[in-house]
Structure 1
Amino acid sequence: MRALYDVPAPAKLNLFLHITGQRSDGYHLLQSVFMLIDWCDTLHFDLRSDGRITREDLATPLPPDDLTLRAAHALQAAAGGSLGAHIGVHKRVPAQAGMGGGSSDAATALLALNRLWGLNLPRTQLETIGLQLGADVPFFLRGRNAWVEGIGDIIRPLELEQELPRSRFAVVKPEAGLDTKSIFSHQALKRDSACATISGFAAAHYQFGKNDLQPVAQALCPEIEQALQWLESKGLKSRMTGSGSAVFAPMPHAVDLQDAPSAWQVRSCENLAVHPLEGWAAD
């Protein structure tokens, strides 16, 4: 195998996000449901025999040492391989949105290079590598919508009545972004939400819970409030995903999204039952 082209890296939405405490080491304890959507980056991989790992930005310029490159180097080091790769990244998922774009790119790089380099490492080993890159990477490697808790390290796939009905969502990324650290370090952040149950979530799905980060995020980034109000004006019930600044709303009926401010990124997205690369690494 010399190349892998058009390899997808889907974004995610946090259907709710509760902060239930904070550990002595500063890490926050959370509960959330992560849902895959069809807003995707696309990556291309060409084999290099000289061991070098290079990247080409095919759309939005990325930082010099982004998660895609870091994932490739981490996998190469862990496997002790001599092969390299040239990686093309067509970035569509916006940064600083709370949609997991960088983590998804890293997971896709691990899965694709594991195959391109013929390493055949099991998914559990890829997860160990991925966790060193970011807390969300193992979720994308597992490839299923999931109940997530702890510090993001406890991941349970949604099954049977917990599974998400197929739906469409309006997803809006305002021009401004948000730094995750600025939210989690804020004194006003609510850190004592009661623990939820997965059965409680399954009874309500898209109407369940709230995002505890949203009040602080709205104070730090007024555009979030504007985006929420714009969706509400369409008759939609909206909330923020992750640590923002993207917001979303289920669309039970067709909605015209064409009149959004030109600087915003707005899409009608569908949820995914499984990651497009499910099965690329053995359990």
Structure 2
Amino acid sequence: MRSLHDCPAPAKLNLFLHVTGRRADGYHLLQSVFQLIDRADRLHFDLRDDDQIRRTNDVAGVPEEQDLVVRALRLLQAEFARRHGRLPPGISVRVDKVLPMGGGLGGGSSDAATALMAANALWQAGLSREELMALGLPLGADIPFFLFGETAFAEGVGEALQAVPGPDCWYVVIEPGVAVPTPAIFSAPDLTRDSKPVKIADFSSHTDSCSTVGFGKNDLQDVAMRLFPPVAEAVEWLSSHGDARMTGSGACVFCAFSSEDAADQVLAQVPGKWTAWKAKSLKTHPLMKSLLQNQGVVE
């Protein structure tokens, strides 16, 4: 096998996100539930005749050398060399972006996780899911979740994951048209950093319907709304249709619905100044599922 094309890198939503403390090194301690949805970037991988890792298309605002996809592939290539005493073939990768940057949807991290899964298969490197998660963590705290590949209760800086049942929902997501830099949110003096920790059972008691998103809140939302008025406007508009909240550190805002028809009705009313779309919750990462079934290379 020399190619893997049309590999999905799905978005995530934070159904809630609490900041429970701050470590001595400045990293914030979080609790959240990560939910995969079926809105996705698409990546295409081809083995090369040399050992170079190259991105074959431009991605606006992301130089090749800074791209998490390229960096992740190079990390895995180095790990392969350490284990096997030789470099595997290089890879050419094309990244077809759909997910906005600075949107809180985890697009860059998801792209990197998909790259690790695909290269693990193409190179027959044989790393387990846990090994890939450990390899990806230094690049970004969200990468382990996408490699984990199912709805997860997250703690620590987002890397301590436990599988939980998620709601079977449709979501309307609004892109307010701004990119929110995560450091600006976490460095804000008015950020809530002392939310009372919750237990998985507290969340799981809400999973019988799409009202699950009514559990908890997003502690980063108030800061983002203050710093970026378009986020506040989107939250206010979507809140008239349900329990709207921001995902991650922003900027995207979402609301859950129990049916596609209900989502369509709201989507049709979204003001034209915003990009908006609907997405379905996913139980498992679609690429991981196919690799498990067809290759047996990701545990």
TM-score (norm 1): 0.94
| Secondary structure at the counterpart of residue 267 of structure 2 | coil
- Give the 3-state SS of the residue equivalent to 1:31 in structure 2: strand
AA at the equivalent of 2:238: L
* Aligned counterpart, 2:298: 282
Name the residue aligned to 1:153.
Answer: 159
Could you give the per-residue CA deviations for residues 66-85 of structure 1, whole angstroms, max 9, x where no partner exists? 11111111111111123101
Amino acid at match of 1:123: R
Distance in 1 (alpha carbons) for counterparts of 2:26 and 2:62: 29
1:101 equivalent to 2:107? Answer yes
By percentage of residues, which structure has more helix? 2
Query: Equivalent residues in 2 for 1:164-179 (5 A)?
Result: 164-179=166-181
% of aligned pairs identical?
47
Letter of the 1:282 counterpart: V
Structure 1 CA distance for aligned equivalents of residues 40 and 124 of structure 2: 25
- Deviations along 1:41-72, whole A, 9 cap, x unmatched? 00000110201111123775633221111111
> How far did residue 126 of structure 1 move?
1.1
The TM-score with structure 2 as length reference comes to 0.89
Greater Cα offset, 30-39 or 111-120:
111-120
Conservation of the 8 A alpha-carbon contact between 2:117 and 2:298: no
**Which residue does 1:92 correspond to in 2?**
98
Residue of structure 1 equivalent to 2:209: none
TM-superposed CA distance for 1:20, in Å, is 0.6
CA contact (8 A) 1:6 1:43 kept: yes
SS at match of 2:288: coil
Name whichever of 45-54 and 263-272 sits farther off.
263-272
Superposition CA RMSD, Å: 1.5
Distance 1:25 1:267, change over 3 A: same
Q: Which residue of 1 aligns with 2:214?
A: 207
Aligned length, in residue pairs: 278
CA distance in 2, matches of 1:266, 1:4: 30
* Partner in structure 2 of residue 240 of structure 1: 246
Match for residue 198 of structure 1?
Answer: 200
- Within 1, Cα distance between the matches of 2:184 and 2:136? 24
Residues 181 and 59 of structure 1: CA distance in aligned 2, closer, same or farther (over 3 Å): closer
Secondary structure at 2:231's aligned position in 1? helix
**Matching residue's letter, 1:228:** V
Q: Distance in 2 between matches of 1:122 and 1:183?
A: 34
Q: Does 1:40 align with 2:40?
A: yes
Is 1:271 aligned to residue 281 of structure 2? yes
User: Counterparts of 1:271 and 1:230 in 2: how far apart (Å)?
Assistant: 22
Letter in 2 for 1:69: V
Unaligned runs of 5+ in 1: none
1:44 is paired with a residue of what secondary structure? strand
Query: Helix, strand or coil for the counterpart of 1:209?
Result: coil
Q: Give the alignment of 1:215-234 within 5 angstroms.
A: 215-233=222-240
Distance, in Å, in 2 between the alignment partners of 1:192 and 1:61 is 34
- Check conservation: 1:60, 1:91, Cα contact below 8 A: no
CA distance in structure 2 between the partners assigned to 1:189 and 1:244 by the alignment: 14
- Cα separation, 2, equivalents of 1:273 and 1:217: 29
Name the residue aligned to 2:3.
Answer: 3
Please name the residue that 1:78 is paired with. 79
Q: Residues 20 and 194 of structure 1 are in contact (CA less than 8 Å); yes or no, is this contact kept in structure 2?
A: yes
CA–CA distance in structure 2, aligned partners of residues 33 and 14 of structure 1: 6
Q: Is the 8 A contact 2:6 2:44 kept in 1?
A: yes
Kept in 2, the 8 Å contact 1:76–1:82? The answer is: yes
Q: Unaligned regions of 5+ residues in structure 2, if any?
A: 82-86, 207-211, 292-296
> Aligned letter for 2:49?
S
* Maintained 8 Å contact 1:60/1:92: no
Q: Matches of 1:60 and 1:237 in 2, distance apart?
A: 33
